[in-house]
Amino acid sequence: MNASQLQTPIEYLKGVGPNRASLLRTELGINTYQDLLNLFPNRYLDRTQYYKVAGLQRNSADVQIIGKITHIKMVEQKRGKRLVATFRDETGTMELIWFRGQKWIKENLKLNEPYVVFGKTKWYNGSFSMPHPELELLKEHKNKLRSSMQAIYPSTEKLTNSGITNRVLNGLMEQVFLEAKNSFAETLSEPLIETLKLLSKSEAVFNIHFPENADRLARAQYRLKFEELFYIQLQLIRKNLIHKSKIKGYPFAQVGDHFNTFFKHHLPFELTNAQKRVVKEIRQDLGSNAQMNRLLQGDVGSGKTIVALLSMLIALDNGFQACLMAPTAILSVQHYTGLTELCNDLNIRISLLTGSSTTSERRKIHENLENGSLDILIGTHALLEDKVKFKNLGLAIIDEQHRFGVAQRSKLWHKNELPPHILVMTATPIPRTLAMSVYGDLDISVIDELPPGRKEIKTVHRFDSNRLKVFKFIKDEIKLGRQVYIVYPLIQESEVLDYKDLMDGYESIVRDFPQPAYQISIVHGQMKPADKEFEMNRFIKGETNIMVATTVIEVGVNVPNASVMVIESAERFGLSQLHQLRGRVGRGAEQSYNILMTSHKLSADAKIRLSTMTGTTDGFEIAEVDLKLRGPGDIMGTQQSGVLNLKIADIVNDTEILKIARSYAFQILKADPNLLTPENFSIKNTFAQLVKYKNIWNYIS
């Protein structure tokens, strides 16, 4: 069966018809033969294994048992009737129960003949029962067994209730193979199949649905996972290559005075090797004719700002302007202050634009931007306003990207005739494999090394019952002149409750840390932005010792004198959030501490999160654990990315296959960008089909 035959609507399959077709469509999204073939089993049941009634466990798993029906009766209930059959093997008895289709069953059941029953058992009132079992006479069962491992497909209650049981799905699958004469067009190229020793397409689909043995099944899974990941990567890499060849950018041909002077005379520290590597990668991008579209990942404190500055200096050296956008006013101000200081001796004009810039400040900025007397603009979303027009924006940098949507990013594109180069910086570590799938069309740079001499933050877990000791510790730190964060969770659904927690906590802290010896700031989501900023600034300036806050401080704030981060109800935070919060301390020369406060009631996952935090400070390691705990769906920025829609591969566990698939996709496109050679014929075909039938667009936004 070739690709277009596989697009035949499912109602044409023998045994389907309009009713079943509509159920398959709504319940499982199956419209075509192809879709049915791609309904991959959840698991397999060894149907050569039979249970005994006496050996059943109370965990309601699928089992099959050989026995005889000795007795049938109808039982009247308040709501409808049920048909109950007594089923017996040599070790005991149980009940088979039907709530529907009783007439047919009653008329067709054969008493005292060996049956194989198959289904989920329930333990109720001291005995086992099996509602709506699949039934097969033993002699027929033995004849029909084509594989010792039976595929168990995903299903829904509605499907089962409408009689589309697993057995029916097995039957439909058999029908497809019958009509296709067990032959399906190959979708990968000969060389790929040979080098990787893959099963052919026909062998793979057959063995995924009707495994000949465990080994063949494993190879079938490998081949199909590879194929799925391969085509996603092929699409992403192609998009990236097309982007590079089609989307022209301003080539920044030279590295000039600004960069060189700064690099030789004003660099406040030696760059880490990772920073050097990343600057080189960016320089290469900027020097080419294509528009840069790069993601810079680096853990909190890894030194992304200096990389941003060096990149902006290159833009300036080529006669262009640059901008740096941050998610909050506080962060924008920090960048503005920091960068102005660094550029003190360079002849560079930098301005700050935020929501609180006055009208006259704005007017001035707009004017200077347009006449080119402003070099670097730093600010918040305010940068995206239509009134903000650059003379020649060459580079736009976005800090902490997960706070910005794709739409906002693309707005920056239209500030010029040609799109500016874009550098997106994020401190949310995304495991590399996930980044490959989510941002496969961006180029990625990673700063995987912290500047030398950092003291590792000491992280401890304390129970609420030890609060007094913790407070004593905080007081000692304050005595040494340090500042302290105390953070409360804020989770949208229970905002009122959280607010109460925060306020109760605040009051008790005010009691335990009385004025005037202690000054306390508080910042939370229900405050006006101006008030928040005021309180934040008191803390930044060192006027207050303690900052009580909800997670609004999570991103980027830099108070080097703060050395203690206390996280209340730490069990309620996700790993990446804990890690981000911890990154608020350890920014100065002092030993810093992260104290995770929890109650005694901890879920298994919470325990893993806490021990991960106390066990490592490596953001990527933490991200890997996070990914394993939560799955990709909850990781920042992946919601719409489609890694969720994988049909057979698993982004967490199949990273090795992903890497191989990506490298082959890359090699193939590099050698043959438009897939024109004969050996890539089937790849080109399959790819065209995937695009045509939009299957692949499920993966890519």
Please give the residue ranges that form the binding site for ligand ADP (CB under 6 A): 269, 271-272, 275, 298, 300-306, 427, 451
d(CA 35, CA 538) in angstroms, rounded, equals 60
Q: Kindly tell me the sign of the dihedral angle through the C-alpha atoms of 508, 534, 338, 482.
A: negative
Taken as a whole, the chain contains a residue count of: 701
Least CB distance to ligand ADP at residue 294 (A): 15
- Residues 330 and 336 sit within 8 Å (Cβ to Cβ): no
Instruction: Give me the amino acid identity at 578.
Output: L
- Residues 538 and 544 sit within 8 Å (Cβ to Cβ): yes
Angle between helices 655-671 and 214-246 (to 10 degrees): 50
Least CB distance to ligand ADP at residue 272 (A): 5
Instruction: Give me the amino acid identity at 386.
Output: D
- Residues 353 and 379 sit within 8 Å (Cβ to Cβ): yes
Q: Other C-beta atoms within 10 Å of 418: how many?
A: 14
Least CB distance to ligand ADP at residue 275 (A): 6
Nearer to ligand ADP, 67 or 583 (CB): 583
- Residues 414 and 337 sit within 8 Å (Cβ to Cβ): no
In this structure, what token pair is assigned to residue 75? 């039982």
Nearer to ligand ADP, 580 or 680 (CB): 580
Nearer to ligand ADP, 114 or 560 (CB): 560
Least CB distance to ligand ADP at residue 304 (A): 3
d(CA 459, CA 451) in angstroms, rounded, equals 20
Least CB distance to ligand ADP at residue 586 (A): 10
Least CB distance to ligand ADP at residue 311 (A): 13
Residues 6+ apart with CB under 8 A from 302: 274, 427, 447, 448, 449, 450, 451
Helix, strand, or coil (residue 247): coil
d(CA 418, CA 255) in angstroms, rounded, equals 21
Among the listed residues 440, 407, 401, the one whose alpha carbon sits nearest the alpha carbon of residue 424: 401
Least CB distance to ligand ADP at residue 398 (A): 13
Among the listed residues 526, 533, 523, the one whose alpha carbon sits nearest the alpha carbon of residue 492: 526
Nearer to ligand ADP, 232 or 326 (CB): 326
For residue 134, list its beta bridge partners.
118
Nearer to ligand ADP, 41 or 303 (CB): 303
Among the listed residues 579, 574, 544, the one whose alpha carbon sits nearest the alpha carbon of residue 561: 544
Least CB distance to ligand ADP at residue 301 (A): 5
Say how far residue 375 (Cα) sits from the centre of its chain.
37
Nearer to ligand ADP, 278 or 486 (CB): 278
Nearer to ligand ADP, 376 or 388 (CB): 376
d(CA 409, CA 411) in angstroms, rounded, equals 5
- Residues 429 and 297 sit within 8 Å (Cβ to Cβ): yes
Least CB distance to ligand ADP at residue 337 (A): 12
Least CB distance to ligand ADP at residue 440 (A): 23
Least CB distance to ligand ADP at residue 603 (A): 31
Among the listed residues 40, 19, 4, 7, the one whose alpha carbon sits nearest the alpha carbon of residue 223: 40
Half-sphere exposure of 336 (CA within 13 A, CB side): 18
| Strands annotated E in 530-600 | 546-549, 562-567, 593-598
Terminal-to-terminal C-alpha distance of the chain: 30
d(CA 334, CA 539) in angstroms, rounded, equals 13
| Strands annotated E in 355-502 | 376-379, 393-399, 421-426, 443-447, 458-463, 483-487
Nearer to ligand ADP, 236 or 300 (CB): 300
Residue sitting closest to ligand ADP (CB): 303
Nearer to ligand ADP, 94 or 310 (CB): 310
Nearer to ligand ADP, 466 or 561 (CB): 561
Nearer to ligand ADP, 253 or 589 (CB): 589
d(CA 137, CA 38) in angstroms, rounded, equals 30
Least CB distance to ligand ADP at residue 564 (A): 18
d(CA 440, CA 234) in angstroms, rounded, equals 10
Nearer to ligand ADP, 37 or 306 (CB): 306
Helix, strand, or coil (residue 134): strand
Least CB distance to ligand ADP at residue 277 (A): 12
- Residues 431 and 316 sit within 8 Å (Cβ to Cβ): no
Least CB distance to ligand ADP at residue 33 (A): 51
Least CB distance to ligand ADP at residue 400 (A): 9
Nearer to ligand ADP, 355 or 451 (CB): 451
d(CA 129, CA 122) in angstroms, rounded, equals 5
d(CA 40, CA 217) in angstroms, rounded, equals 12
DSSP summary character for residue 29:
-
Tell me what percent of the chain is helix, strand and coil, each rounded to the nearest 5. Answer: 45, 20, 35
Least CB distance to ligand ADP at residue 296 (A): 9
Nearer to ligand ADP, 249 or 301 (CB): 301
Nearer to ligand ADP, 124 or 269 (CB): 269
Nearer to ligand ADP, 119 or 583 (CB): 583
